[in-house]
Amino acid sequence: MYELFGGSHAVTAFYYNPNIAPRPEYDKRLIELERFAALKRFSLAVGAYNKSAWSERVQPYRFCGEKSERCWECYRIRLEESFTKAGELGIDAVTTTLTVSPHKDAVMINRIGKELESSKGIEFIAGDFKKENGYKRSVELSRAYGFYRQNYCGCIYSKRERDNKGTGQLKAF
């Protein structure tokens, strides 16, 4: 049990990241979460790595850039699956660590979560975990635990944008 959100809760982390590419990057991140789950003794569920379904849904937005419709669709895909898994496991509330990143749109993430709360009948605990030094704290914890930290969000489009930054060239994917 963990003290979270003003009460004591059993925690199950759900790793669902069909957006992460290439596959070795996905595996690195999963290994880090498995290590942390074992260390902190919380339950971990892992979703399918369905990159093709993710790609199909975000493809219309592939040139939009960070914090755009592309990201919003990615948040939706991942939160939809989180709610589905919560329903399967009998979990009564969902939240997400996505909002700890300064590169993520917490308002949109919370909006999508609240929409899904209404349609799925499972509570969504909204938050903006980068506030009150949340991002800084995540960096400190990463260092303390020796975690691998990536330098892009995870999707192939974000990786290509990072790789092309400063070249003055836009490359088609």
pLDDT digits (tens, 9 = 90+) for 89-132: 999 999 999 999 998 999 999 999 999 999 999 999 999 999 99
pLDDT at 85: 98
Q: Which residue has the higher pLDDT, 19 or 161?
A: 19
Put simply, whether the predicted model's pTM sits higher than 0.85 gets the answer yes
Hey, is 95 helix, strand or coil? Answer: coil
CB 51 within 8 A of CB 21: yes
Q: For the stretch 136-166, what's the b/e string if a residue is b when 16 or more beta carbons lie within 10 angstroms of its beta carbon?
A: eebeeeeeeeebeeeebbbbbbbbbbeeeee
Give the residue extent of every domain in the chain: 50-164
Hey, is 59 helix, strand or coil? Answer: helix
